[in-house]
Amino acid sequence: MSEQECAYYRSLYEVAMCINSSLEPATVLHSIAEQATKSLAAKACSIRLLDRQGKTLLAGTSHGLSKGYLRKGTIEVAKSRIDQETLTGKVVQIKDAGSDPMFQYPDAAREEGIASVMALPLTVDGRHIGVMRLYCSNIREFSQSEINFATAIANLSAMAIENARLHQALRTDYELLTAYEYTMHE
């Protein structure tokens, strides 16, 4: 086993431990983004989730991006070809985000020092619920082993998000039920 493969296994272990240690989505997603960034020697990572209408990708978390870049504007699926393709279930790579028409905010990418981008779907039960992006400061093409590793991280992220949503729904149901019973006994 190569040194890189050992590093991938350690990172997957860290991500799995993080998912098992907290039901707080913000904590889990931030740890995942940080691990993905470090493991793949990237500049940054972001995780965005589709809104209820499926038209906009909402900020979930990020690691390594400036606040200015994160405030560049709304990610509208209709205007972002990289996200349109990713949300069909494909892994999409862009060599130069500053000049590629698939990228919605090329000027912001240049200002942030972003060159290459890899976008991966977050998929649960066959539904694409969001996108994980890895950003690089240099022109780069990810290898197949890097894509496989990033896909595993994206799938774990999607499971963590779904677990957090289910936990939140159960907690809300429980609180409504206990409030109703409390009202009935008064």
Domain containing 49 — which CATH number? 3.30.450.40
pLDDT of residue 174: 79
Residue 183 lies in a domain: no
Domain range for 56 = 3-176
Residue 140 within any structural domain of the chain? yes
- Domain membership of residue 181 (yes or no) is no
Read off the pTM. Answer: 0.86
pLDDT in tens, the chain (186 residues): 788 888 888 888 888 887 777 767 788 889 889 999 999 999 999 999 999 999 999 998 999 999 999 999 999 999 999 999 999 999 999 999 999 999 999 999 999 999 999 999 999 989 999 999 999 999 999 999 999 999 999 998 898 888 888 877 788 887 888 876 666 666
Residues 53, 161, 141: CA angle, nearest 5 degrees: 90
Task: Flag whether 186 is in a domain.
Answer: no
d(C-alpha 9, C-alpha 6), whole Å: 5
Residue 122 lies in a domain: yes
Q: For residue 24, which phi and psi values (nearest 5 degrees)?
A: -80, 110
Residue 182 is assigned to a structural domain of this protein: no
Continuous segment of H or E residues that includes residue 149: helix 144-185
Task: Give the total number of structural domains in the chain.
Answer: 1
Structural domain includes residue 36: yes
Sign, CA torsion 140/40/20/28: negative
Cα–Cα distances in Å, from 29 out to 123, 167, 183, 184?
A: 15, 15, 37, 39
Domain annotation covers residue 185? no
Write down the pLDDT at residue 184. Answer: 65
